[in-house]
Structure 1
Amino acid sequence: MTNDTPGARGGPTGSTPTRSADQRAQRTQQRAGHSRLRRRLSGMLALGVALLAAGGLYTVFAPQPQTAHAQEDPALVRQGEQLYDNACITCHGVNLQGVRDRGPSLIGVGEAAVYFQVSTGRMPATRQEAQIAQKPVSFSPAEIDALGAFVQANGGGPVVPKSGLTGGDPARGGELFRLNCASCHNFTGRGIALSSGKYAPAIGDVNPQQIYAAM
């Protein structure tokens, strides 16, 4: 005799609906997890593409610094080397690497730093101070060019433009000076004393190349 009462449907067969519901819920959770992962990966990929694009645009459109490795006349570089060996090597080292407690490395400073420091009489320095004082210039313009060529050829770095520094808008230049320079150099360019024994020098008699190199 067949037992058709509801109780007879217990056992393994009776648990099938519950397992099916659990499996469906599990599959739904898995699909949701996969969907979230895909969205996260897509977002990361989009961010990466955007960053690469922004970097590429910046490289194309950002102002480029005036930097170069010199391709100078070898004779000019040799002359600069002789001047360097006579006047600079003690403090800045045989390979421009600098000497501890004497002078900094000149690797990467370029022709611009040489021009500024030497053409304004700050270098060669006679002693270590909080700020190197200006003195009468020790080298001729030709010798300064030779020193710059030597440092540029061996250390690289910024160069000084030979032209194109005076064609801008004076009003815009005045605005930039007031915002960035006047607090130290005074609104009239006469210079003022600073803290720790330093000072901002007067800039009334400097040339455009010196201003460029100083910045």
Structure 2
Amino acid sequence: MLEALLQLTCRYAGLAPAISELAEQVGLSLNMPVDGRRVTRYLNLLADTLLVRLVPPLDVRLRKNRGGPKLCLADHALRACWLQEQVPLAPDALAERPDLTTQAGHLAESVFGSAASLVAGLDIAHWPERGADREVDFVLTVGVLRVPVEVKYQRRIDPHRDTAGLRSFLEKTVNNAAFGILITQDASGVVDDPRIVSLPLSTFLLLR
């Protein structure tokens, strides 16, 4: 079961699938019923091996049903080897494979989540869409201060559409966030909103 779940984690890297969905997929792979509690135990085991970083959902309202964790791989060579699939993140290489843009965006989220998880003193979570609340890819917390982060790994940034989640989070005072970060493919993805800092993924990895 651990092998089947690791393969699914590679496939869902950068995403936050429901535990029930993972249980169903593992059950189909093994041709046996698998419940969500067992999947959760095995996910935690993978996290203990440091192969996978589990980014939990942030819940300032302390709801019981918070959703599943976002799955971030510690090493994306593992995904390439396991799935026999190469997804380039270098902008020039990705430009030659525009059909992989969506998948590259998910992997960019996984790269950011894994790297941010290693920063001392920094808590990291993701913010699922809830009613009128827009989804935010990640929320970093230092003390009582929060910083929303959106990963938009594409050649062109729409300054309004691609920052909607950040602006929605920043405008709610309960979130206690003064600014947000937009992680981009390169340095051209700059927006005019003074509350939003644009930062290429490669630059963030160097800063870490």
Same fold (TM over 0.5): no
Structure ranking higher in strand proportion = 2
Q: Return the TM-score normalized by structure 1.
A: 0.23
> Greater relative contact order (Cα 8 A, min sep 6): structure 1 or 2?
1
